Amino acid sequence: MRISFPRTAAVCSGLALVAAVALTGCSSDDESSDSASTSASASSAASSAAAAPGAADAETTKAITDAYTVFFNAAAPVDQRIASVEKGDIFAPVLQAQAADPAKGGTTATVSAVKVVDATNAKVTYTLLMGGNPVLPNQGGEAVKIDGKWKVGASTFCALMALQGGTSAAC
């Protein structure tokens, strides 16, 4: 089996980016709880559909996909990224450091599947991209519903940090 050098290099570069992001600002001592969302975008229909385990309805899938898209988009405003992740206030130093470093640009994510576990939890399959190229394909993640808004689960970001030996007070 031949391993493509460009693909291997792209994966290594992506992992290095994730490690750099994870390790930058991980020394936060802030243990405060997640701040409330400024807007509740989920409707009662999405709430009742999210309570039934299985495939997510279109509205729930869109809300979770939007949270992942914003959170993993290095070009998105940092306050939006903080609001898109569980325990965002604790992850804020990492996300602010990433936003300040132009070398961290070009990171995005796509969501390929959402499965509702219960009214406030969902399993997500996503791919982390660097410059539009997959660097971590088909990753398993979580979404949590807090104050009526779906967010990327802290465990998802913690898993990426752990991949490179990093940690955070949010983990």
For residue 156, being part of any structural domain is answered with: yes
For residue 10, being part of any structural domain is answered with: no
Identify the domain containing residue 107 by its residue range. Answer: 43-163
Q: Is the pLDDT of residue 122 over 50?
A: yes
For residue 171, being part of any structural domain is answered with: no
0.75 surpassed by pTM: no
CATH number assigned to the domain comprising residue 65: 3.10.450
Average pLDDT for 31-55: 40
Number of domains in the chain: 1
For residue 16, being part of any structural domain is answered with: no
For residue 149, being part of any structural domain is answered with: yes
130 and 52 Cβ atoms separated by less than 8 Å: no
Average pLDDT for 32-50: 34
For residue 108, being part of any structural domain is answered with: yes
For residue 83, being part of any structural domain is answered with: yes
For residue 76, being part of any structural domain is answered with: yes
